[in-house]
C-alpha cells in the first residue's frame, strides 16, 4: 500500500465563498430550528432567556415579574462562552439563587429570606442545573451563538 503525503495548498475561491454564504443563509433560516428551550421558566414569576449584549456577547439573563404593575427585575446571570467552557457555572448558579430570592421577596413581601427557603432554593437550582431541560437550554444558547455568528458573517460579506 502506497500512501502519499501530498500537502496541497488550499485557496478560497468564489465558489467556496458562495457555498459558505449559502450555508450561512440556510443555517439562519427557519428550516434549521429544532426543539430547544430558548426561554427557561423557573417558577411562576421567573424566566431565563438568552440575550445578545453589546460588547459582551450572548448572555443568560433572568427576568422576575413584579407583583405591581410595571417592570420587574432583570438580572445578568452569565456570559454564554463562560458557561459553555464551564468557568461561568458557579457564577450562574450563585446569581440564579439570588434571582430566586428576589422572586420569593416579590411573592411574599418579606425583605429577609429565611435560611430554610434559601436552602430549598439552592436545592432547586442544583436539580435544575443537572436536568435535561437545562441541557436543552444550554444547547439553545449554542445554537443562538452560532446563529449570531452566521448573521455577522453574512452582514460582513454582503
15 in a structural domain: no
11 in a structural domain: no
Residues in a beta bridge with 41 = 47
Counting residues of the chain whose pLDDT is more than 70, the rounded percentage is 77
What residue numbers bound the domain in which 90 lies?
36-148
- Across 35-39, 81-85, 123-127, which has the greatest mean pLDDT? 123-127
Q: What average pLDDT does the segment 16-37 reach?
A: 53
Please write the tens of the pLDDT for every residue from 48-86. Answer: 999 887 777 889 999 999 888 888 999 999 988 898 888
85 in a structural domain: yes
71 in a structural domain: yes
31 in a structural domain: no
134 in a structural domain: yes
Residues in a beta bridge with 79 = 59
Contacts of 28 (CB under 8 A, 6+ apart): 147, 150, 151, 154
* 144 compared with 15, residue with greater pLDDT: 144
Contacts of 98 (CB under 8 A, 6+ apart): 75
12 in a structural domain: no
* 100 compared with 21, residue with greater pLDDT: 100
30 in a structural domain: no
Cell numbers placing 112:
429577609
Least confidently predicted of 70-84, 97-111, 118-132: 70-84
Domain count, the chain: 1
Amino acid at each position: 500500500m502506497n500512501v502519499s503525503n501530498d500537502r496541497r495548498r488550499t485557496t478560497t475561491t468564489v465558489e467556496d465563498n458562495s457555498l459558505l454564504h449559502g450555508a450561512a443563509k440556510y443555517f439562519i433560516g427557519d428550516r434549521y430550528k429544532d426543539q430547544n428551550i430558548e426561554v427557561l421558566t423557573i417558577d411562576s414569576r421567573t424566566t431565563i432567556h438568552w440575550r445578545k449584549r453589546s460588547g459582551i456577547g450572548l448572555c443568560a439573563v433572568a427576568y422576575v415579574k413584579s407583583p405591581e404593575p410595571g417592570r420587574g427585575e432583570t438580572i445578568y446571570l452569565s456570559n454564554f462562552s463562560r458557561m459553555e467552557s464551564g468557568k461561568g457555572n458557579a457564577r450562574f448558579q450563585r446569581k440564579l439563587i439570588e434571582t430566586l430570592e428576589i422572586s420569593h421577596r416579590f411573592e411574599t413581601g418579606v425583605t429577609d429570606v429565611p435560611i430554610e427557603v434559601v436552602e430549598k432554593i439552592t436545592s432547586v437550582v442544583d436539580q435544575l442545573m443537572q436536568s435535561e431541560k437545562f441541557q436543552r437550554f444550554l444547547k439553545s444558547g449554542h445554537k443562538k451563538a452560532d446563529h449570531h455568528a452566521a448573521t455577522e458573517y453574512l452582514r460582513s460579506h454582503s
